Amino acid sequence: MARPPIGLILSYVLDWLVIIVIAAIGGGLNFVKPNHRPFSLLDLDISYPYIAESISTLTLVLVSLIAPAIIILLIVAILVPGPRVTRTLTRGQAFRLKLWEFEKGWAGLALAVATAFFITQGSKNLFGKQRPDFLARCQPDLTNIAANVVGGFGQDISARWTLVSSGICTQQDSSLLNDGFRSFPSGHSSFSWSGLLYLSLFLCSKFSIAIPYLPLQPTTADSMKRGQNDQELLPMHQNRGVSVDSTNRDTGEAAAFVGKRNPTNPVTIRNYAASPPNYHVVLAFIPVAVAIYISSTRYAQFYHHGFDVICGSLIGIATAILSFRWYHLPLSRGQGWAWGPRSANRAFGIGVGTGGYVDPAETRNDTARNGDVEAGRA
């Protein structure tokens, strides 16, 4: 396998630089003063007590970013590319494929978390919504209400029945006060869902955990032999209900098993796919359960309103799904693989009408070279 062109390598270095810049901007937004939205001293929704959080920011990063990164590294190191594919590759090819899957696994995780972090931090400053424990942070000066009134028509009822500015707060810790205006959306929720849901999707990909998929194509053994390539990634992907014709054994083309190991028998729809074992589903659900727990603590401990938690979770869910599909094939059809590399001559961009970032001619040349290698080994 030839060494990738330096331009192609630099294009992926640039991808990582973009991710790092997104995360850095998100971190820098934490030092920007948020919008101080006026509030009412009689608003019970911001009158909850201020208590210590059970999931600190450090714990959040360890659980939602560091732990998934380590798990992805271990899965790729141990299970990729899988015993059946490894037999068709040289040691160098297998190692490069392992490195590629590892890099794409980490790139997707980093993109999901960095994007969720950036969106959340920017939104917090723009909206300036008070946390449920805001008044406990603010410590308002009740003797100086009139000087801080900014609106409201209830002064004839009570001096406190008005909207006041943050100038009424006596809190000396400016960071604690500013953080009180960062309730929407929930950062813990978006961060945990982005990293942990991405991990769940990664596990589903590598362990073939998906709802059975029925493609729109003729369901006969002959059509499957012509169109379905049984290139498997992990031991869990091995289709033990597949009969391989001796004439097609080297190419890996297979026909589904329907009771007799005869590739010419018709394939019924019910035998075209099967559901994975339930313990696999439990494995994939564990990261989601952790994300749910982390989100729940933000509501239970008065750091966020319910709507804040929901919106933060949706941000994390969206970035996790989009980042996973950015780098990995669909769960039902991808056989656990990440997308391949861009073509060298299209590494940094394409023009109108080009069609995509993979050059068909370059792909055909790679296929031909691989075929020559396999023929030589045979």
User: What pLDDT score does 374 carry?
Assistant: 46
Nearest to 56 by CA among 333, 353, 304, 294: 294
Residue 39 in contact with residue 130, Cβ under 8 Å? yes
User: Chain-wide mean pLDDT for the chain?
Assistant: 84
Q: What is the mean pLDDT of each run of 10 residues along the chain (378 residues)?
A: 81 96 96 96 95 95 98 93 78 89 96 98 97 97 90 70 93 96 97 98 94 67 46 44 36 38 57 87 95 98 97 98 96 88 90 88 62 44
Q: What tokens appear for 271 in the block? A: 């035998």
User: What pLDDT score does 370 carry?
Assistant: 54
What separation in angstroms does the CA of 37 have from each of 151, 168, 187?
12, 13, 19
Q: How many CA atoms lie within 13 A of 297 on its CB side?
A: 18
pTM summary value: 0.84
User: What pLDDT score does 305 carry?
Assistant: 97
User: What pLDDT score does 376 carry?
Assistant: 41
Nearest to 273 by CA among 211, 186, 357, 366: 211
| Dist CA 30 CA 85 (whole Å) | 47
